[in-house]
Amino acid sequence: MDVLVLVKYVADVDNIPEDAWDRERGTLKRNLLRMVANPLDDRALQLGLEIVYGSEGGRYNPPGHDLHSRAPDEGRVVVLSMGPPQAEEICRRALAHGAERAILLSDSAFAGADTIATARTIAAAVRKMISDGVIRDPLVLAGMQSPDGDTAQVPVQVAALLGFPLIPYAAGWSRSTGEQTRGEAEQSGLLAFETLQPRGRSTLVLNRAPALVAVTKYLRELPFHTTLDRMAAAAEADITVWDRYDLEMPEADLGLAGSLTRVVRIFSPEKKERGAYRVEFGGERNPLEELPAVLRELEEFLRAGGVSEGDASQGDASTSKGDAAAETGSRGPAAAENGAGSPAAPPAVPAWYQGECAVLCERDGQEISAGSRELLGAAASLAETLGTRATALLPGELRPGEREMLAAAGADHILSVSPPTATAFVPEEIAATVVDAVTLLRPQILLVPASLTGRATAPLIAARLGAGLTADCTGLEIADYEGRAGGRQVTYGSVLFQTRPALGGNVMATIVSLRGRENQAPQIATARPGVFRELKREAVTATVGRLPAVHPDNRVSPMRPGGPGVSGDPDVSGDRAVTPAGESVHAASAPEEKTLDECPVIVSVGLGIGGAENVDLLARPLVRALEKSWGVAVGLGCSRAAMEAGYLPYSSQVGQTGKTVKPLIYIALGISGAVQHRVGMEKAGRVLAINSDGEAPLLSYSDYVIHARCTEAVPLLLKLLDPE
């Protein structure tokens, strides 16, 4: 089997040099950022090397250093990258690690491509590689996302455009698939991938290639190794470079010109510095005299429901609101800000888009998920501004109580659409029904929860509809757009301005989807749970309807599938090559912790807690003591570094790639306060940080600081909370 690995040349957003910041404008100078291979693509390459060449004693078995020595019928690992000429560096690195060939897509016309224009270019290259015989029936592997954009869109959209079955969130693999299918799989050499599912994990068997598998960091890591010979051969190797002419793509489909979204503004994330009250351990005052007052003030704040004197706005979350008007000449942006709604004057320019504001709702277990309900609030606010309806698209039949719940959350109209039939989460299934629904309904906006399911489904939907998609929005506003589009000056009324973190959360970008409308497609945005506020409307009702199922033969959408430059209908819903192998074979990941979203108080641990054992010795007792003393639910969260160290499961992670939480009180134990963590907790009413480093970034975002080691401070707090 041939394996094609997609490797992206990305900015190292974890290590930004000081001089790369333009402090005045609050942006980053991209040319000063260090560039590296996307770490998840490295995992994909490791997986490809293991699948094709096998491994022994913890090492891969790639062929000798003569990079073209393989017989034509043997499987091979080839890498494909798209980027500036300097991306050759990561191609050579992949060759040194065992890949046999590297192809780089590089052309000034590719610059400025959004995710769909990138996916379209990569898909064209994969088609060419297959037709030129570079690879046969490839298994395409890629990291699920990269740290710079973190959208998780490109691999999904490449699969959609090529019509390849997709396995997202691969967290493990084997040639066998558990009791039921092991013999079968071993005999036929089938590959089985363990994938992350909304609840737990499932094993999906790949029974034909080509296909695309997007990997997560949970995949077992078998580190790279190389030899001097291989490094020397890689340094000398020919890297094939393809440009727009090799791919035979029209310029209108490439780069900025071929993008369905456009960045209209880049700015600094909102800074909410708080004046911290500091308790110093080892200082002149005895902490035992100061800590009771800290606990008392926090408890008073909690009892007052998050409002304290002279501080009425605390605890009332607000998103970072991009001032789109300033940049575009737009008038009176009306924001769907935390579902609060802000009635706006009717747009002066006639609305460019028509139709409803739809939300793709999902269930979390038996209930409509919190993320869906929050997005309905955002949709209701946008719909009010636009003079249209907020519509909930609900897979399957309406269950008792759901009509009231959806109406209270903001839905004016509820439409049930065909439910998925597979037992495991197969994104193509959901995407196919939603594409049908959108084709019939023609909404102008489609909002999708950025859950595990939504993040894999929305890019498929967008690719099939030729629609622009913005992931992980933190602000949604309606404003008129005045500026360039399609090479000319335009004015469009009532466009959705979508604001999201970019470059690993170091900057914010406001984005519009203009070209999608030419495909009669909606503006699609996703948002993570916790970003918008759930509406709780009373005495409201919603109309209910059902969208008819569309027979696969009749799925001839008036919208062009895949957007311009793509020939053929990528039939991702037909002849499914991915078959769920039974129910979740692993138990759902530790559902022991309380749902963070619902807890008014959260104790959160970082690496500074000093080990998993201290989570049990310090953090959990603190949770219990606070619950007992304050009588409220206290959740246990963590930083990504703590999650990666295995202290707590992913479901507890707070931050950009975890949960966004809005508790009244957030207690951070040994968390440095990286921007990616802060965006997940900055809406907390009060922050108490315990840190041994008096300069840790989180401290300027905290209301109370205990400058001490966790092992010193937490036992004192425990003693004060529960003297017995």
Ligand X SMILES: Cc1cc2nc3c(=O)[nH]c(=O)nc-3n(C[C@H](O)[C@H](O)[C@H](O)COP(=O)(O)OP(=O)(O)OC[C@H]3O[C@@H](n4cnc5c(N)ncnc54)[C@H](O)[C@@H]3O)c2cc1C
- Which residues of the shown chain bind ligand X in the complex (CB under 6 A)? 13-14, 147, 150, 504, 606-608, 610, 639-642, 653-658, 670-672, 674, 676-677, 680, 690-693, 696, 709-710
Which residues make Cβ contacts (< 8 Å) with residue 495, sequence separation at least 6? 330, 352, 353, 478, 479, 480, 481, 512, 514, 523
List the Cα angle 7/10/15 in 5-degree steps. Answer: 135
- As a whole number of angstroms, the distance between CA 326 and CA 321 comes to 12
CB of 708 to ligand X, least distance (A): 7
Nearer to ligand X, 435 or 641 (CB): 641
Nearer to ligand X, 146 or 391 (CB): 146
Nearer to ligand X, 94 or 503 (CB): 503
CB of 616 to ligand X, least distance (A): 16
Nearer to ligand X, 37 or 642 (CB): 642
CB of 457 to ligand X, least distance (A): 21
CB of 530 to ligand X, least distance (A): 12
Alpha helices in 21-66 (DSSP H): 39-53
- As a whole number of angstroms, the distance between CA 534 and CA 285 comes to 44
Nearer to ligand X, 269 or 606 (CB): 606
In 334-425, beta strands by DSSP E: 334-335, 357-360, 363-364, 367-368, 390-395, 413-417
At position 674, the amino acid (one-letter code) is A
CB of 272 to ligand X, least distance (A): 17
Q: State how far the alpha carbon of 107 is from the alpha carbons of 75, 91, 180, 586, in Å.
A: 29, 16, 49, 45
- As a whole number of angstroms, the distance between CA 420 and CA 428 comes to 9
Tokens of 11: 């900015």
Nearer to ligand X, 584 or 692 (CB): 692
Which residues make Cβ contacts (< 8 Å) with residue 231, sequence separation at least 6? 96
CB of 714 to ligand X, least distance (A): 9
At position 474, the amino acid (one-letter code) is T
CB of 659 to ligand X, least distance (A): 8
CB of 657 to ligand X, least distance (A): 4
Nearer to ligand X, 347 or 670 (CB): 670
Nearer to ligand X, 138 or 680 (CB): 680
List the Cα angle 292/293/298 in 5-degree steps. Answer: 100
CB of 588 to ligand X, least distance (A): 21
Tokens of 451: 């859950």
CB of 427 to ligand X, least distance (A): 22
- As a whole number of angstroms, the distance between CA 113 and CA 119 comes to 9
Nearer to ligand X, 473 or 496 (CB): 473
Q: Which of 261, 194, 311, 639 is nearest to 473 (CA)?
A: 261
Please, what is the end-to-end C-alpha distance for the chain in angstroms? 66
Indicate the DSSP class of residue 396.
S
Tokens of 442: 């023609």
Ordered DSSP codes for 211-256: EEEEE-TTSPP------HHHHHHHHHSPPEEE-HHHHT--GGGSTT
Nearer to ligand X, 367 or 693 (CB): 693
